[in-house]
Structure 1
Amino acid sequence: MFSTKTLLQILINTLIGVVLIFIWLQFIDGSKLLDTLKKVDLKYTLVFFILYASSSVVRALRLKVILDEFKIPWKNLIFLNFLSQLLSFFIPIRAGEISKSVYLNTQYSLPLGKTIIWILIDRFFDFWFALAAIGILINFTSSKLPSNFTQILVIILGIFTLVSILVITQVNFFKKLLRLLSSLFFLKILKNKFLSFSFNILDGFAVLRKNPWQILSLLGLTAFAFLLDGLIWLFLFLAFGLNITLIQAYLGNLLSALTFLIPSAPGYIGSAEASALAIFSGILGLNSNIVAASTVLGHILTTLALLILGIGAIYFLKFDLGLVWKKMLKRG
């Protein structure tokens, strides 16, 4: 089904997950973890499914705003998000992003190269907002982050924002710059491929040439989606009797969102546990055993939610996943 390169990448990610699980186990008490899990208040877990599905629905609306000129039904994007999350969870090598791109290409005849850029732009809103919100919220709660952490975030955020604005508003300038850079390639075929790839990225950013209200709506939807994600953590901790503030839950989730850059094993085994412990216990100072128990519970509930929503999405969309595998084989 997958190329040797892709299988090797999955194997390496799995080994990383095993190592992270081993490290995670060194920081928790296994017997206390089991005792804590037995004390879970299941009524709070019911809220998990509502919040989890709602977060995906909100992000689907954000994608609809991004792609508003193509008139894609919102319900289709909702189920596409569910499917993408399922694939990303079990095949964490960008299978989710590829599935969205292939679906938009095959079902709506949109250019494959541009759909990939649009999906990455959609993800970029999460990354950009997470950086901005962390820089603000870190000043309203105690943490063990370095004193210059906010300044570093401001610099990174400023660079990303400036480059993004210039790419959107100064397309001709960047194309001239890219043509100049292409002269460094001696072979014409490499020069043409470089220009084709670079111009495709620039043209993809045209989807963000929107009025200020639309941009604000994209940011507002992102903030709301992260709020729903933060509430998930709030209720997971409440399930074990630990009351945390909404700011702690929101900030912890924002920090967790940045870990998508780290290679993950199938099912996020290891990476989910290690990152949650590092963030909620190591940075925010919460009880490590309750953090571990909440993470394990959240992992189980996430798996159940994705199986239900993701499999349902496959039937609703009537989408041939074989097209995704073919794209991944080509990518490998």
Structure 2
Amino acid sequence: MKRKNIISLILGLLLGIVLLLLWLRFVDITELTSRMKEVRLTPVILSLVCYMLAYFIRSFRWYLLIPKEVNVGVLRTWLISLSGNFINYLIPIRAGELAKAWLLKRQRGLPVMQGLSGIFVDKSFDTIGILVVLLLLPFLKVRFSGGMLGLLGILVIVFAVSFLVLILAIRNSGKVSRILQALFSWLPKRVKTKTDGYIEAFVQGMATFRHQPGKLLAAMGLTALGLVFDGLYFWLIFIAFGITYPFAMVLFGYTLINLSYALPQPPAQLGSNEWMMIIIFSAGFGLTKPDASAVMAFAHIFTAAVIVLTGIISLSINGGQLLSKIFKGETLDE
């Protein structure tokens, strides 16, 4: 792994530890442990099903964006997605996206840049969650803390930019590529060359919807369905603790937490998830801190176990040497 990435990981890990220690100062560990023992198994099992379905739906969305001649298959696409998700969880520098493109090249011969084109477009659909959050706002009683307002402001800008790029790419992909590349003209030549390639791949991927509006609608529909299953997963965790909470509020809050992952995160979202839960559900929705802390602590441990287990299984099928290549700093973009 490159030195700057190692430094970034170490700093992120230290930040996560600090955030976690600060969070623990606000939590009664004895009460938290006691609440964990009261968790009901049936809702947890159902939440696991919803969690896996949400990821399968997103991987199917990506599958629709992969050229048909690649013939990768739905199951294989899902396994590659799980591997990428695991790598992103461990190494929050979006290395998982490049890893997915590398696996497509290794297994099906698809050039890495062409694979990244579909991956970039696929990830851009996750910004639809911002639209869902905005549509839910009029129906929810939310106290907007400074942190939540700041997060909403950033997400609205991200959504507006993504939507604008999509529309312009469909109309004139060449012009959009030139404009975006000009914005990064200040980068060193070597970095700019690679960045220009990524921009070109992303914009060309967006431009494919010009002649395939049905695929665009399908991707949007799958995104919405994935968000619903995300919300059901987290809502069932509330149920497991015996906490009755409106589904719409859980969907709103959990979507915001997921969207916050677009911002820099410590490895495994260490500490950041716990604080996002406090900011959104306690400061914003009035959920008691003990309830919010218990739900997030359990959900964090639970999802970490699922991500690690499915990641190890999928990597063993896809090729376990991928992780070692990343840590050794070997290139994946060739």
Task: Tell me the TM-score normalized by structure 1.
Answer: 0.86
CA distance in 2, matches of 1:146, 1:93: 28
- Report the alpha carbon displacement of residue 102 of structure 1 after superposing the two structures with TM: 1.0
Alignment-mate amino acid for residue 161 of structure 1: F
Matched, 1:109 2:109: yes
Matched, 1:304 2:313: no
Matched, 1:50 2:52: no
Matched, 1:253 2:246: no
Superposed, 1:219-298 pairs within 5 Å as 219-298=220-299
Q: Secondary structure at the match of 2:113?
A: helix
Partner of 1:31: 30
CA 1:103–1:207 in structure 2 vs 1: closer, same or farther (change >3 Å)?
Answer: farther
CA distance in 1, matches of 2:21, 2:225: 35
Superposed, 1:1-332 pairs within 5 Å as 2-69=1-68, 70-126=70-126, 128-145=127-144, 157-174=159-176, 181=182, 196=197, 198-318=199-319, 320-321=321-322, 324-325=325-326, 328-330=329-331
- Report the alpha carbon displacement of residue 145 of structure 1 after superposing the two structures with TM: 2.2
CA 1:76–1:156 in structure 2 vs 1: closer, same or farther (change >3 Å)?
Answer: closer
- Report the alpha carbon displacement of residue 104 of structure 1 after superposing the two structures with TM: 1.5
Q: Secondary structure at the match of 2:286?
A: coil
Q: Relative to structure 2, which stretch is displaced further, 206-215 or 304-313?
A: 206-215
Alignment-mate amino acid for residue 142 of structure 1: K
- Report the alpha carbon displacement of residue 310 of structure 1 after superposing the two structures with TM: 1.7
Alignment-mate amino acid for residue 43 of structure 1: T
- Report the alpha carbon displacement of residue 237 of structure 1 after superposing the two structures with TM: 0.9
Alignment-mate amino acid for residue 136 of structure 1: L
CA distance in 2, matches of 1:292, 1:309: 25
Task: Tell me the TM-score normalized by structure 2.
Answer: 0.85
Asked whether the equivalents of residues 28 and 292 of structure 1 are also in contact (C-alpha less than 8 Å), the reply is yes
CA distance in 1, matches of 2:191, 2:23: 45
- In structure 1, stretches of 5+ residues that fail to align are none
CA 1:166–1:6 in structure 2 vs 1: closer, same or farther (change >3 Å)?
Answer: same
- Report the alpha carbon displacement of residue 202 of structure 1 after superposing the two structures with TM: 3.1
How many pairs are equivalent?
327
Asked whether the equivalents of residues 209 and 215 of structure 2 are also in contact (C-alpha less than 8 Å), the reply is no
Asked whether the equivalents of residues 50 and 230 of structure 2 are also in contact (C-alpha less than 8 Å), the reply is yes
- Report the alpha carbon displacement of residue 269 of structure 1 after superposing the two structures with TM: 1.6
Which deviations, in whole Å up to 9, do the C-alpha atoms of 1:73-110 show, x marking residues without a partner?
Answer: 00001111211222222222223212111112222222
Asked whether the equivalents of residues 99 and 324 of structure 1 are also in contact (C-alpha less than 8 Å), the reply is no
Which deviations, in whole Å up to 9, do the C-alpha atoms of 1:243-288 show, x marking residues without a partner?
Answer: 1111011101110112112333332221121212222222222121
CA distance in 2, matches of 1:114, 1:50: 32
Alignment-mate amino acid for residue 24 of structure 2: L
Alignment-mate amino acid for residue 316 of structure 1: I
CA 1:92–1:236 in structure 2 vs 1: closer, same or farther (change >3 Å)?
Answer: same
CA 1:319–1:28 in structure 2 vs 1: closer, same or farther (change >3 Å)?
Answer: closer
CA distance in 1, matches of 2:130, 2:275: 21
- Report the alpha carbon displacement of residue 21 of structure 1 after superposing the two structures with TM: 0.9
Asked whether the equivalents of residues 168 and 209 of structure 1 are also in contact (C-alpha less than 8 Å), the reply is yes
Over the matched positions of the two proteins, sequence identity in percent amounts to: 26
Asked whether the equivalents of residues 116 and 198 of structure 2 are also in contact (C-alpha less than 8 Å), the reply is no
CA 1:16–1:218 in structure 2 vs 1: closer, same or farther (change >3 Å)?
Answer: same
Which deviations, in whole Å up to 9, do the C-alpha atoms of 1:21-43 show, x marking residues without a partner?
Answer: 12322333333222222222222
Q: Secondary structure at the match of 2:265?
A: coil
CA 1:275–1:317 in structure 2 vs 1: closer, same or farther (change >3 Å)?
Answer: same
CA distance in 2, matches of 1:83, 1:315: 9
Alignment-mate amino acid for residue 35 of structure 1: S
- In structure 2, stretches of 5+ residues that fail to align are none
CA distance in 2, matches of 1:230, 1:85: 19
CA 1:210–1:324 in structure 2 vs 1: closer, same or farther (change >3 Å)?
Answer: farther
Alignment-mate amino acid for residue 98 of structure 1: L
Q: Secondary structure at the match of 1:104?
A: helix
